[in-house]
Structure 1
C-alpha cells in the first residue's frame, strides 16, 4: 500500500526519482527523499503539538541520520533531535544539531558521557544505577547539573528484542533514596517504548501496558519527593496520536516515520502527513520466471509488496517476493521477467541507518523546479561526486 500512497499523494517524487536513475545521476540501492514534504509534515505536526502543549524531539534514524534533513526539520519548528544511539549523536554533534534526548534506546558508552554533557543535551536516559552513577560522576567533574530520564519497565510491558533494559517497576522504590543522593543528576522524566502501537485489524491505535507502568512509576516517585516534569511516550508519534499522548499525561513525543508519512497507519489511511521517500533500484537480470533487482536497502519489517517498473517511460507493476530475513539482500526477486536496466521503484517502511543504501535528497518537486540537493551515506555523511 505504501507505493500506492506515493503514486496518489506524491507522484512527482516517483517521476524525479526515475529521471535521476535513468540519467545515471543515482545508482540502484538509493532512497530518494523529498525535503519539502518532510518540512511540510513537520510544520503540521508542530502546529498540532503546540496547541496541546506537547514538546517534540525529531528522530532521523529511519531516514538515514541525515543532518540536512535535521536542519530542515528544525526550520519547520521541531528544534531538537532524539538520537537512537551514540553513533547518531556523533553525526548530530558534528553538524551542530541540538539534541533533546540521548540514551533512550541505546545507553551511552562510558567514555562518551563526558562528550555529550559538554555538548549539551536536555535529557540523558538511563537504564541502571550503574549508568546513573557514571553520569553523576562526570557531571560533578564538569560542575553541571544534568537532567535525567529513567526508562521504566514491568513484566507485562511490550519490549522488542535487542531493546531490553530499564528500571524494574517493582524494584524502583528501593532505589529512590540512593537516586536522591546523586547531587548532579536531576531526575525529572520517565520514558518507555513502545507506548502507542497501531492495530492494523481495527485501523486505529492502542495503548500498550507500558503506559500503565509509567503512570504508576510517576505516582510513586512524586509521592517520594521527586518532581517528574516530563513523560516521554514514544512510538507512532504523529498528528493523529498527539491527542492520545496528551490524554495519557505525555509531555513529549518523538516523531520519526510520521515525518516521512510512512508509519503503518499511513499505508492504510490518508493521514495529514504525506509520503516523502521512495526506494530506487534497477533490474539486474532474469532467471527462470523471475526478475532480480539490486538490493541493499531491504528492511524485514517494512512489508515491502509492490514494485513499479519504468522502461524509458513505459510503466508496469509487479510483486516483490517475500525475502527471508536471515539472508543478505544482494538481490530482491520480483514476479515475471523484466527488461535488464529498467528502473525499479518501491516504497515501504524502512530504517535506512541499518541498510547499505545511499540517500538522495531532492526539493522543488511541487514547484516544477526539481533539484538534487545532495547524496549521502545511510549514516548521514555527504558524498562528493562529479
Structure 2
C-alpha cells in the first residue's frame, strides 16, 4: 500500500536540532569545584574561612562572592554554638569566633535567641546586643512595676517569615514577665518597630510560694530559665516548675498552663517547642531525663502525655553526678545540661551528646548560637590578605 501524504511528510521531516551545549572553561570548572569545597568548611570554625581566603585568588574570589554567605547558611542550616555566657555578659568562646571589642561585664544575660542577646544592667536598663555586628540597642525604661525583672526573652519580629539564619539588624521583640505578690504575675513586650512597650497584662496563679523568711507575704517566682517560643507565644517556667506562664505576643495576654502532674524537681525544669507547634516539658530526676508532650484531646483541650524517659548514664562516656537541666536551645533542638565538670548538649531526636565546654559556674549558663562568616567571605577582604596571591 503506497504511503500517504502524511507519512511522506513525517519521513521528510528533519529531526529537531538539539540545543548546543557551551562547554565551560577549565577555569570555570575549577571555581565551581572550589565553591562546593568551601561550602563544606565547618561553621563551628570561622577561622577556617579566613585561612581559606589566603590560599589563592581563586579561593578569595569564591569567598568574596556576594551570594556565598546565603549559600553557606542554607547548606548547613543549623547554626553553631559560638560561645557561652556564665550569667554575666562576657562571652566565653567555644569556637574561633571573637566578638567585636565591647565590655558589658556589668550586665546580666537574660536570654539569647535569633543571634541577639538580652542584657539587664542591675543599676537599671535593658539592652539588646548583637555580638556579630557589635550593635547595642538600649531599650526605653520599663514600666515601674518591673522594679526587678525576673525573666525576659528576645526574638526576631518576623516570626515564621524568617528562617533566623541571618536576621542581624532586623526588627526584634523583647518580652518581660515579672513576679508579683498575692499570686499575681505581669507581662508586656517591646517592639523595635514601634519603639514602645505594650500595655501591661496580668494573670493570677492559685499556687502560692511562701518564702521561709517572709511568712507574712505571699509571693510567687518566675524561674530564670530560657523561655520556649511556640508559634506566637512564649512559655516561661514559674515557681520551680509548678506553673507554666503563657504570654501571647499577638493577643497580648498572659495565661497559666498547668504542668504535668509530677513531683517538684530541683534538678532543673524546662519547656521547649516540639514538632507540629506543640509544647514540650522536661525535667531531671534520679539521673534520668523525663520528656512530656502537650497533646490535644478529643474535647479540644490540651493534656500532657509522657513521651519517654532517658537514662542519662547511657549518654555520657564517664557519667558525672549531679546532672542539672539548664535550658533548651531551639536553634539546634538541644537540651542543655550541666554536670560537675562540663556543659553538654543533647539532641532530642538522635540523643547525640556533645561536650560544649568545662563548667565554670554551676546551673547558670546561656548558649549563643549564630552563623559567623568573616568579612573575607562577605565581599570585603581583610587588608592582611587583600594583597598578593
Band of TM-score, shorter chain: under 0.3
> Which has more strand, going by share of residues?
2
Higher-Rg member (1/2): 2
For normalisation by structure 2, the TM-score amounts to 0.27
Task: Flag the structure with more relative contact order, 1 or 2, with Cα contacts below 8 A and sequence separation at least 6.
Answer: 1
